[in-house]
Chain A
Amino acid sequence: DVLNTPANTTLCPQVLFFGFGWLFFMRQLFKDYEVRQYVVQVVFSITFAFSCTMFELIIFEILGVLSSTSRYFHWKLNLYVILLVLIFVVPFYIGYFVVSNIRLLHRQRLLFSCVVWFTFMYFFWKLGDPFPILSPKHGILSIEQLISRVGVIGVTLMALLSGFGAVNCPYTYMSYFLRNVTDSDILALERRLLQTMDMIVSKKKRIAMTRRQMYQRGEEQNKQTGFWGMIKSVTSSPSGSENLSLIQQEVDALEELSRQLFLETVDLQATKERIEYSKTFQGKYFNFLGYFFSIYCVWKIFMATINIVFDRVGKTDPVTRGIEITVNYLGIQFDVKFWSQHISFILVGIIIVTSIRGLLITLTKFFYAISSSKSSNVIVLVLAQIMGMYFVSSVLLMRMSMPLEYRTIVTEVLGELQFNFYHRWFDVIFLISIKRLFQTFPLILIGTFSRLMLKKFYKCVKSMTS
């Protein structure tokens, strides 16, 4: 009866997901760039479509849609496709586009991209060695080998992102952390910025005029370098190049200062906008949510620590435990089986939707920040790779949130992976990423300190020249 599956149930949503991925790519990610290589867009949309199908299959599992054999079939099929994409297609194209950007290797790009891919496969395989991923009864070329490695990378990513999110989220949402910024602060900074620009302009005018005069007098324009250059500059008239290099140094320092001032002004403007936003209704709502999220983040950190310190892995999932608590302590009679199915559906659904949405938003922000017209193809493919690995490992970790009867399909399909390992690994990386954040605090202090030093230097330079 596998072949009797109505094609609508699985094919139609998949086409929808593909379409959504396509639109997201075109409208959001690439809205400022020109899509010259359509293969990138296709690969991205395929990765997105098959990742979403995995989540869809979990939902089907919980709701009991389709027969269990057909579900199993679709799981296996989907898994093979997505592993194929994540391990063969995407890395190959990443290598191809990176190699195409390098002028020297441009001619032999197919050859070099194969070389890159083989290097990737080597490291990918080596990745499995230090981890107790598999029970020893499996052979070399089995699907568990591939999934386990993909899982490790994906879980690491998820934990890093979660850790970062846990610390960043209260800071972003809550208005408690917003410094007070007034319009006059911004105006003062802008005035300084423009004054700095004016100084740069006047110094550059001096340089340009001096150069022109030197040129007209027939002197050498370029700086004197090297041993003979030094000798020559001692004996020749000092008015020309010596002055020039001094002014040039001042200009360089001023330009660095102007960049700093620009970034500070952008920062202040952004803070001012956030303050204005926090006064709106939407802003207040998110502020309120922020308090809840902070408590949730603190709880997560606490639980991760406990899990590692006391070396335990949660045996029951939140849903069943919640229902048990309700039944036992509140004395309310529940049809546990019925409710656990629905509640876990809702819970899993929320987790899926928020993680997809969160991931897409983060990807978009990241993409805008670092891409340029040359590297956009490579970056989008890297993001597709991260997205695919993230989704695969979400499925692995989601197992923990589901009641026992639904875990079977995941366990069955993904083979005998040491799931507990993944949960422990998640907690470890989560805590490490938190620790990393607290370590950057001194770096922030150093950054502020160096900015102060730069300002002092600028004042010294100004007093010397005026």
Chain B
Amino acid sequence: MASLDRVKVLVLGDSGVGKSSLVHLLCQNQVLGNPSWTVGCSVDVRVHDYREGTPEEKTCYIELWDVGGSVGSASSVKSTRAVFYNSVNGIILVHDLTNKKSSQNLYPWSLEALSKDSSPTGIIVSNGDYDREQFAENSVPLLLIGTKFDQIPENKRNDVLTRTAFLSEDFNAEEINLDCTNPRYLAAGSSNAVKLSRFFDKMQSFTDRRRFNFKSLHYD
């Protein structure tokens, strides 16, 4: 059996962008036939070959925590969701390429997740507004995934790609644009697959982990 360090990755984004389909694709290598609304959080596990092809190769599990909901949810839902944000090694931000609002909402999403995670460098959350310095100091690896790529007509593709390039610069993250109903975007050897493995490798070696402490949940 492989070594069992725990690697936890959050998958965040507005409802309807395709997080559940994405997680299913990443973990089961199959397209999700009947996506339905995620209530609470659904977890899936991906078996990942860390440092594939090198002598240090080992098999590890990546837990993908798909948290449902929207940024405009009631505060009771937000406080409950915060339970899932502890001890996070990485965050995948998912947005819908055909919906600009979902891309804009990634800022509040990432703030919500990162502010619950007080890293040693101490991210200061001011009044909820986006601040570029916060992301520069952030040490949690981020990955940006844009879905429904196939639904964008050819002539608009360049605009969309420029927009997402700005977004990935803001978050200081890699970006992947794909269609969750088509596994060929993540075929072995493609640049997307390489980016994905690099991201997962980064997290395995990301050692800034906090012991999960129930008491500190609310009395920070």
Contact = CB atoms under 8 A, between A and B. Distances in A.
A187 B217 contact: yes
Given A190-B217, A208-B27, A209-B1, A269 B42 contact: no
A201 B2 CA distance: 15
A262 B39 contact: yes
Contact of B72 (A31, A190, A197): A31
B105 interface: yes
Contact of B15 (A31, A259, A372): A372
Query: A-side binding surface: helix, strand, loop or mixed?
Result: helix
Contacts of B46: 208
Query: B-side binding surface: helix, strand, loop or mixed?
Result: mixed
Nearest to B96: A373
Nearest to A206: B45
B171 to A, nearest CB: 20
Interface stretch (B73-81, B120-128, B130-138, B202-210): B73-81
Nearest to B219: A183
B5 to A, nearest CB: 12
Contacts of A31: 72
B156 to A, nearest CB: 13
Contacts of B83: 190, 193-194, 265
B157 interface: no
Query: Contact size class for A?
Result: 35 or more
A190 B214 contact: yes
A263 B61 contact: no
A279 interface: no
B16 A372 contact: yes
Nearest to B16: A373
Interface in A223-280: 255, 258-259, 261-263, 265-267, 269-270, 272-273
B41 A269 contact: no
B101 A32 contact: yes
B41 A258 contact: yes
21 contacts: A32-B72, A32-B105, A187-B217, A197-B84, A201-B63, A204-B44, A205-B61, A208-B27, A208-B45, A208-B47, A208-B61, A209-B1, A258-B41, A259-B39, A262-B39, A262-B41, A266-B74, A270-B76, A273-B75, A372-B16, A373-B102
Interface of B: 1-2, 4, 14-17, 27, 37, 39-47, 61, 63, 65, 70-72, 74-77, 79-80, 83-84, 96, 99-102, 105, 212, 214, 217-218
Given A201-B43, A255-B42, 11 more contacts: A33-B101, A34-B100, A186-B218, A194-B212, A204-B43, A205-B61, A208-B61, A266-B77, A373-B15, A373-B96, A373-B102
